[in-house]
Copies of this chain bind each other. A is one copy, B any other.
Amino acid sequence: MQIKINVGPGGFVRLVDTMPTATAESSSLDSAVVQAARISTGSGIKDPEKDRNLIRFLMRNRHTSPFEMVEFKFHLKMPIFVARQWMRHRTASINEYSGRYAEIPDECWIPNPYDIRTQSTLNKQSSDPVPYYSEDAGEFYTQFKAIYDKTYKVYKKAVNSNVAREQARTLLPQAMYTEFYWKIDLHNLLNFLKLRMDKHAQKEIQEFAEAVYKLLKPLVPNCCEAFEDYMLDSFTFCKQELLVLKAALKPLINGDKLIVDCSSLGKTETTDFQLKLSKLGIDLAKKES
């Protein structure tokens, strides 16, 4: 079982513990979700296929509380500017390295010139997705490195001459590495990952979120499968978009029915799909396969 993934020049994501304990078969964590859901219905444990279907049902219908019954604890090391975004999520428990108590090590996230991106011209908040190398990036890299080295020396000298650590550290860049323990339940973790694995998130936090997801997936395979199908790879169409879709589908409607091949959908998924389309005034007819 992989428990640590290095991220960027000096960061990492390390799984410290889970509840329940992860076993070799790694079905115990998925089962804890099922067990919690079944207390609501007063029914006992069933077979693996029914468990998988229950998890899919819960995720599809946003019955979120059973996913809160599984807990994860990570040890993370990341630049402060990433940690600042990470800690805006208020549903986790955190213990962080203290720059008041201990000296800050000489560890700064210095971006490789090939990882320096340009400001997006389309989206004010983003960088352009494809990294590039340019003279400007090269120059920024050189100056970043030079400034950082000088800054850390000033910090170190200040600490040695007895300037309070809590003040001396304030000169250090926001790219300094920090470390913390991070404890969160599965429901809130998946919400977090949906937001931070998104392509609108800053690329540096996406990489940490993806590393967390890589450690998570083998531990709760059924939950992650449902998460991908119903949250990560789903789209929400708004009221106006649905009307456009409806109009687009109109020529295909034959004798009041839209004939589609639903063979890739399960039984309740087909019912759900029919229900959605019927809200658009479209009746579904299954294509004979």
Question: What residues on B are CB-neighbors of A168 within 8 Å?
Answer: 140
Bound: A125/B99 CA distance, A: 9
A132 to chain B, nearest CB (A): 10
Given known contacts A119-B164, A234-B238, what 8 new A-B pairs fall within 8 Å (CB)?
A40-B96, A60-B238, A68-B183, A90-B91, A125-B166, A170-B173, A235-B279, A238-B269
CB of B163 within 8 A of CB of A119, answer yes
Q: A65-B94, A137-B163, A144-B154 are in contact. Are A173 and B172 (CB under 8 A)?
A: yes
Contacts known (A147-B171, A181-B39); A164 close to B234, Cβ less than 8 A? no
Q: Which residues of A contact B (CB under 8 A)?
A: 17-21, 32, 35-37, 39-43, 60-62, 65-66, 68-69, 71, 73, 75, 79-81, 84, 87-88, 90-91, 93-98, 100-102, 109, 111, 116-120, 124-128, 136-137, 139-140, 143-144, 147-148, 150-151, 154, 157-159, 161-176, 179-181, 183, 185, 195, 200, 202, 228-230, 233-245, 247-249, 251-252, 258, 260-262, 264-265, 269, 272-273, 276, 279
CB < 8 Å neighbour of A102 from B42, B90, B181, B260:
B42
14 A-B residue pairings within 8 Å (CB atoms): A17-B20, A21-B21, A39-B97, A65-B95, A69-B93, A69-B181, A80-B84, A100-B126, A119-B163, A119-B164, A147-B147, A151-B151, A229-B239, A240-B265
Residues of B within 8 A of A261 (CB): 244, 247
B40 touches A95 (CB 8 A): yes
Cβ contacts under 8 Å, A79 to chain B: 170
Question: Given A164-B117, A169-B81, are A95 and B17 also a contact pair (CB < 8 Å)?
Answer: no
Question: How close is A164's CB to chain B, nearest CB, in angstroms?
Answer: 3
Q: Which residues of B contact A65 (CB under 8 A)?
A: 93-95
A164 to B247, CA, bound (A): 40
**Chain B nearest CB, measured from A215 CB (Å):** 16
For A70, the closest partner residue in chain B by CB is: B183
The residue of chain B having its C-beta at the shortest distance from the C-beta of A263 within the complex is B244
Tell whether, in the assembled complex, residue B264 and residue A167 are in contact, meaning their CB atoms are under 8 Å apart: no
Which chain B residues lie closer than 8 Å to A251 at the CB level?
A: 252
A163 near B116: Cβ-Cβ < 8 Å? yes
Contacts of A269 in B (CB 8 A): 238, 240-241
In the bound complex, how far is the Cα of B167 from the Cα of A120, in angstroms? Answer: 12
